[in-house]
Amino acid sequence: MKLWKRILCFSLLVPTIGFAAEAEIKKALGIAIPGLAFNSIEMSEIDGLYRIETSSGETLFITGDGSFFVTGDLYSTDKGRLQNLTEVRRGSLRAEQISAVSANEKITFPAKGEAKAKVAVFTDIDCGYCRKLHKEVPALNEMGIEVSYLAYPRAGIGSDSYEKFVSAWCSDDKQGAMTLAKNGKSIPAKTCKNPVANQFKLGQEMGVTGTPAIVLEDGRLIPGYLTADKLAKALGVF
């Protein structure tokens, strides 16, 4: 599903603002920060303050006339419980974005027997900790955890890591090619129509800055390497 369709589907779930307030905010930001691109403007949990999700993944909170804004996360202390409301929203959007990626666009290592949990991992073939995590995949699969890889070549589109991921994705045996590449072995160079560039861009939209980046089914993002046991515990499998 294209980004604008994902954003539209998500925006239908959240409150929108009036045209007058939106026009004022857009006008103020257009003058102060020319070229700022954003995906949505909506009411926040604070009266008189609006939330903007930028195309680069930042969240702005701005007054209705566009005169003042702050960046960062919004927290709630309702009933004495600290909650990061901005991260909760990010998680909901991440879950929608991951679910919009079709199964045939991922390189998936399925769970053995009944799947108890699923994770999506933005990965770089040449990343040391990504390779370390890949060695945990057989144990994760045995625990009933499905692992699906999405491409995030940190050096960018056109880099050696990018080309290796394309070759793995275009292989007749994607899982085998991925395992060989992550073990530092050479795989035949191949090219075909592939989702590698789009997945790299998706990771950037979702706030991925390093690899591995593990996305749970509820949209929570776990940056970095975890052992199979620790990841299973985070998933509530054991």
- Is residue 170 part of the annotated active site? The answer reads no
Identify which of 139, 160, 168 has the alpha carbon closest to the alpha carbon of residue 232: 139
Q: Which is the catalytic residue, given 6, 90, 94, 130?
A: 130
The amino acid occupying position 195 is P
Q: Is 121 left (phi over 0), alpha (psi -120 to 50) or beta?
A: beta
Distance CA 113, CA 225 (A): 25
Tell me if residue 41 falls in helix, strand or coil.
strand
Q: Of 6, 124, 131, 170, which residue is the catalytic one?
A: 124
Q: Would you give the end-to-end CA distance of the chain in angstroms?
A: 34
| 151 in Cβ contact with 180 (< 8 Å) | no
Tell me, yes or no, if 65 is annotated catalytic. Answer: no
Residue 232: its H or E element = helix 228-235
- Enumerate the H helices of 100-190 as residue ranges: 128-134, 137-142, 160-170, 174-182
Residue 73 a catalytic site member: no
Candidates 51, 89, 131, 154; catalytic one: 154
* Marked catalytic residue, from 6, 127, 131, 170: 127
130 flagged as catalytic: yes
Residues with a known catalytic role:
124, 127, 130, 154
